[in-house]
A and B are shown apart, each in its own frame.
Chain A
């Protein structure tokens, strides 16, 4: 046996592999259109399509609808089409940063949009600041993205964890409950939701006390023991932050073990169709939630959106659909306002940009780049074998933000 060429052959294989990749990418870069009039305006879109399809697919349909509407109405800047290059981030921040680089270098996008997970959103926001590229974060809820880690180039559409917690505190403060228990997934979203809820509720109601807390690992809630541990503390009310599969488990086990008997539950996001629909007739009754009662909102702007969405996709919109739609409507409005695709001008246009969304008028605040989009606050109930919201109202995001002074202190600039 001749073993001399141990290294050469595999080395050649590696080289071949590298060579096929490099020219391909070069070719791609060349095929990307140069900036000029009449060329489409390209937006790079990144989201966790394989990681969280239940949320991101309605979201994708939402932005598809928005883009189609913009282009059907004659495009932007005198006839230039809006074009989206969409990528999956596999739910990992480092992959998202690579994809962002690909969109910037090869696809020559003018701005970035999307992301779901907070850490992915933060990574892309940092990339955007570094490359001076506007980024409209659609879904991530973390307060940090507009406050402690905010930057000039990043904007966020959805009401943040703080805002949604503040909306629920308003309701919670009216309850007679004094003893509270909390259950939240063990990561930043759950922790900051609980922290804000405790702080804001204690400010309004100095008489409340928090008697138990549970921090299940996201996606691995041990429903039985967790429910039992909460019940053992004999709280008057429970603040829940779990969602998705954990929430379904928690509700089922909680009902089975009588946790919710004579107790009010205040719950973040549970009213969103994404989380309410899968529970069908087992959806919890009487929980105070933030959410999106899409079938009941009859404002003209929402009706127009819902009708167009149903017509296009043959299914009712979800929360993600609204987010996707509004994100891209905001981008279109910003391009028109800026009158150009120059990144600095786009950032200036996005700061203070006001537009109409399916939820009504919203503004991207110049102060911290947070949009004032709100959420619907109401109670859950079951109707025709389906969880729905009842007695709801629209909580405008602008009313649930800390003082400008406090925000300025948090932002780095």
Chain B
């Protein structure tokens, strides 16, 4: 009995940290609608700053808690700075473009932290006065964890007072409910947003600084927490503090007791939980139906098929690309092969984001399903490459059809997180099913047969298949199917009333996008000769998203441009410097500030402006 009580308390201590971080995220999201990937980076910065200050002052209780508070405030200021220097300039950009900016911040912070604090894990001082443990029913329990358990509800209470008993809090709540109305009534949104970013980041920093006595501060903390914080926010219901609190409690307990029952399931537990919650409750536990779910698409000028000379541009590009092997070496060819494959991946994601208004955080699942579909056929059935390549889009398409049925019943961030949950489930099955998938050691020896083994031959094959698929995607965009999809994106209600089955179109587009990504995955498998679960992990989904946003979502060529730009930048930076994340992050930030509509959007604007003049 006493064991279960202590396990319960351990779960509460985990929940406290989770709540501090996710409360910040939910506040920021609620008001600004920014999907802030950098939130985990602020948590990590809080831990590092906390470590530095605790090493200096932490010998006395006052010094320790002063250090924690100072670290939290400093991180809050950094958050405010990010709002003023970066995000504020992007409020007129298409929604989600800020996501790209925060991703740039993530990369920069990773390298900055490594540069400032070094690469070694830093084990900080323990909290003075709270080093020992108390016996709870004969089971020792750390004192510091008891303090953390108390801190969770305390912070919730303080935040409640702030939001319900101060003028500023009232304004924030007003802006959460209706941003436009609040600003019409004379509330300066910019200042409000700065304050909100300060508060949210300070909470992340506080959560990080409080970890100093519990664990070694390290460079992987940002990624470890941010996904989980998003899970808490979505399970709790976006913008709901109480929801985040309840969700933290549940997930903390789930982890504490889950490992007793299924110790092997640690990889996927929270995602399974999120998937179940979202399938049952569309807006999380305590969230409310939104009036206007955030979608990716900005109204902008509608897509129109190119006419005249421009119609031949893709064909010209294809011809030029096909001629590249005449001049380029092997390495240039494999990089170009990758670019072409990633262009297809990005374009398939763009079908969802740009045309459907459905932002997927889990698109890597279908890329990975395609790659594994092909690799498994080769490995277990010794299938020839053409058959394996034909199976790739099929397997991924079926996967997308099955998961999409659930996903398209949700919208906005709930949709995005549900796709993420399914992607993580697929990933962990692949990761752990040794007998079939080879687990994390992957499947080796998936090489093309002799006729396609040459770099040029495989490049042409990729160009033909991916080019064909891109053409089909473009065709779909301008077919009645694409128009219906866009109608559903722009106004689901009106689309329904003219007789379009919006959900059905979204579902089919999800399957189409999935199978296109699957083809890309199959091509990728043979290009690399091996497949690993990393192909369907979160970073690949994020990369695909970054490519789409970088190119700009308003044009069909955007994702293609974005994929080429991102991949070439990354490979060049990687082969030149160990600080490639800093370089890439800085370039993303510069691009975001210089081209707030994406690169392709910018070029198009330039073009049309030149034409009109």
Contact = CB atoms under 8 A, between A and B. Distances in A.
B120 A278 contact: yes
A288 B460 CA distance: 57
Interface stretch (B187-195, B283-291, B408-416, B557-565): B557-565
A98 B335 CA distance: 8
Given A8-B310, A18-B324, A49-B578, A222 B316 contact: no
A9 B604 contact: yes
Interface residues of A, number: 90
A209 interface: no
Interface in B537-591: 539, 551, 555-558, 560-561, 564-565, 568, 571-572, 574-575, 578, 580-581
A410 B305 CA distance: 58
B408 to A, nearest CB: 28
B304 to A, nearest CB: 5
A409 to B, nearest CB: 19
Given A25-B328, A50-B578, A228-B6, 19 more contacts: A9-B600, A9-B604, A9-B606, A9-B607, A11-B313, A13-B603, A15-B317, A18-B339, A101-B330, A119-B442, A123-B442, A123-B528, A127-B529, A214-B263, A219-B224, A224-B14, A225-B14, A225-B257, A258-B140
Given A2-B612, A5-B306, A220-B266, A226 B259 contact: yes
B218 interface: yes
Interface in B590-613: 599-600, 603-604, 606-608, 611-612
Interface of B: 3, 6-7, 10-11, 13-14, 111, 114, 119-123, 132-133, 139-142, 145, 214-216, 218-220, 224, 255-257, 259-260, 263-264, 266-267, 301, 303-311, 313-314, 316-317, 320-321, 324, 327-332, 334-336, 338-339, 431-432, 434, 439-442, 444-445, 447, 524, 528-530, 532, 534-535, 539, 551, 555-558, 560-561, 564-565, 568, 571-572, 574-575, 578, 580-581, 599-600, 603-604, 606-608, 611-612
A280 B120 CA distance: 12
Interface string A264-294: 0000000000000111101000000000000
Binding site of B, secondary structure by majority: helix, strand, loop or mixed?
helix
From A10, A26, A217, A278, residue with most partner B Cβ within 10 Å: A10
B332 A26 contact: yes
Given A277-B120, A280-B123, A93 B530 contact: yes
B314 A10 contact: no
B48 to A, nearest CB: 13
Binding site of A, secondary structure by majority: helix, strand, loop or mixed?
helix
A214 B442 contact: no
B21 to A, nearest CB: 14
Contacts of A130: 447, 529
A49 B607 CA distance: 43
A95 B612 CA distance: 44
Given A97-B529, A222-B259, A228-B7, A105 B119 contact: no
A50 B332 CA distance: 24
A225 B256 contact: yes
A90 interface: yes
B259 A6 contact: no
Contacts of B530: 93, 97, 122-123, 126
A130 B539 CA distance: 28
A73 interface: no
Contacts of B578: 49-50, 88
Contacts of B528: 93-94, 97-98, 123
Interface in A244-275: 244-245, 248-249, 252-253, 256-258
Contacts of A95: 574
Contacts of B599: 10, 13
Instruction: Enumerate the 3 nearest inter-chain pairs by beta-carbon distance, A residue then B residue, closest first.
Output: A53-B119, A224-B10, A10-B557
18 contacts: A8-B607, A9-B604, A17-B564, A25-B331, A26-B327, A50-B581, A93-B532, A94-B528, A97-B528, A101-B331, A123-B528, A215-B263, A244-B121, A256-B140, A256-B142, A258-B133, A278-B122, A278-B216
B561 A18 contact: no
A216 B266 contact: yes
Contacts of B339: 18
Nearest to B340: A18
Nearest to B211: A249
Interface string A70-107: 00000000000000000110101111011101101110
